[in-house]
Amino acid sequence: MLIKCGWTNVAPESTRKWRNRNIAEYLDVGYQSEDQLAGELKRRFPRLKDRVAFLRMDTGITHHYGSLRPETLKFVQANVTTIVKAFNLVSSRRRKPQSKIRRPLELIDSLGPIHFQGRRASPLNGLTPTLACLDPESGKQCVNAHRSQHSSNLQE
């Protein structure tokens, strides 16, 4: 779910609804409204402040092409051990900044490209937003009030 929260759609409202449906799916509940979902968040995450405001915030820091999303998620599931290791390295407060960047990128890059529709794309295109959000030093958030758009580089 965190990987999906790093992506944006073209329109902020559709991104928010899409993200909230993903949160509901993660919680294994139906999504009827932001208020209903806020109630579920309160029950599951009592320390989370102002749940409704959280659900109304914009989300994502990169526009990851729709056709790549399912293939990226399949890639993550197929390589979950390596990707979790990379995520853990980035989120560590004990590692030096240089190794927090280089080693996780090497791990993910070593997995090879994601193949879709006769093309190839680096898995870093869809995963770097999450990596940025996991780094306690970066100050980036997947769910935020201000987001910057970045484009994915597709390779033939």
Say yes or no to pLDDT of 50 above 90.
no
Q: pTM of the predicted model, to two decimals? A: 0.67
Tell me how far apart the alpha carbons of residues 16 and 23 are, in angstroms, rounded to a whole number: 10
> pLDDT per residue over 81-125, tens digit each?
999 999 898 888 787 777 677 888 899 999 999 988 888 988 988
Where residue 156 falls among pLDDT bands split at 50, 70, 90?
A: very low
Say yes or no to pLDDT of 60 above 80.
no
Mean pLDDT over 55-81 rounds to 81
Strand order in the sheet with 119-121: 114-116, 119-121, 154-155
Tell me how far apart the alpha carbons of residues 60 and 140 are, in angstroms, rounded to a whole number: 10
Residue, of 89 and 148, whose pLDDT is higher: 89
Where residue 141 falls among pLDDT bands split at 50, 70, 90?
A: very low
What average pLDDT is seen over the chain?
78
Mean pLDDT over 72-87 rounds to 92
Residue found by looking up tokens 């999450």 in the block: 130
The 3-class SS string of 82-143 reads HHHHHHHHHHCCCCCHHHHHHHHHHHHHCCCCEEECCEEECCHHHHHHHHHHHCCCCCCCCE
Read off the tokens for 102: 């280089």
Domain ranges of the chain: 2-151
